Amino acid sequence: MKFKILIIILVSIISICSFYGNNKGSASQVLTFAISAEYPPFEYRVHGELHGFDIDLARLIAKELGKEAHFADMQFSAILPAVQNGQVNAGISTITVTQYRKQHFDFSHTYYFDSITAVFKKNQPILSMADLNGKKIACQLGTNMEVWLKKNGFANQLITMDNNNQAIEALKAAHVDVVLMDGPQGVIFSKKNSNLDHKTIAQSEDGYGIVMQKHSPLLAEINMAIQNLKKKGEIAKLQEKWLKGDLE
C-alpha cells in the first residue's frame, strides 16, 4: 500500500515538473512587446486587429529569433514602466532613443529617423520652425516631438497629451495653434480633416529604437535580427509599405 502511494506521489511530481517545464519552454518561444496602438501608420487597430510598421517589424524580429511576437497594448506613458518592471520583454511604439532614457534602459539599434511635421489650420499655416514662436504647441507625451521642442527652446509653449487624436481635437477646438508629429501621421491627419494641412519643418536627430530592461540578454539578439532584416531589405520594404503610401 505504501509502495503504491509512493508511486502515485512520484508520478504526480513528474507530471508537475513536466507541466512547468513545458510552460517554460513555451514562454521562451514568445516575445511580448508593449505597444500603444493609437499611432498610425506605426501601430493602430482596424476592427480589433493590429496593423502598422512597428507591428510588422516586431513580428519579423521574433521570426528571425525563432519566436512568436505577442503584444500588450497600453497607454504610451505606461510602456517604459512595463518594460522596467519586467511585465513585457520589450517596447516598440515609436520610442525615441534619448541619452536620459539610455541611463535607465537598453535600446536596440535605431530603425527609423522621423521628420518633425507641423499640422495646422489651413488659414493659420506654420511653414517653418520660426513660425512656432509665440504659438501654443501640442504633441504626444514622451515622443520625439516633445524631445525636439524642449531641445529647441519651446518648452514653455508646449502642451503634451496622451495621444495625437487628443492633440488634433485640441487644434480643431482652437485650444492650441499647432500639433507636431512625424511626417506619416501629418499626412494621415491632414487627409482626414479637410480644414487641416501639414508641413515638415525639421528633421529629427533622434531615432526610434526598441526598448528593453537595462542589461537585457535580448539586446544582442534583437540587434542582430535588425541588422539581418536591413541586409535582406525587409525594413526598406516596411518603409515602402507603411511610410510612403496611404493606409488601406
Domain containing 166 — which CATH number? Answer: 3.40.190.10
Total domain count, the chain: 2
pLDDT at residue 225 greater than cutoff 60:
yes
| Average confidence (pLDDT) over 96-120 | 93
pLDDT at residue 3 greater than cutoff 50:
no
Longest dimension (CA), the chain: 91
| Average confidence (pLDDT) over 140-148 | 89
Residues paired with residue 196 on neighbouring β-strands, in sequence order: 121
170 phi/psi in degrees, rounded to 5: -65, -40
Give the pTM. 0.74
Task: Classify residue 100: in a domain, yes or no.
Answer: yes
Please indicate, yes or no, whether residues 187 and 221 belong to a single structural domain of this protein: no
Higher local confidence (pLDDT), 13 or 95: 95
Please indicate, yes or no, whether residues 88 and 124 belong to a single structural domain of this protein: no
| Average confidence (pLDDT) over 156-160 | 97
Domain range for 64 is 26-112+207-242
Whether the CB-CB separation of 83 and 34 falls below 8 Å is answered with yes
Least confident of 23-27, 87-91, 173-177, 218-222: 23-27
Task: Classify residue 248: in a domain, yes or no.
Answer: no
DSSP string, 144-183: HHHHHHHHTT-GGGEEEESSHHHHHHHHHTTS-SEEEE-H
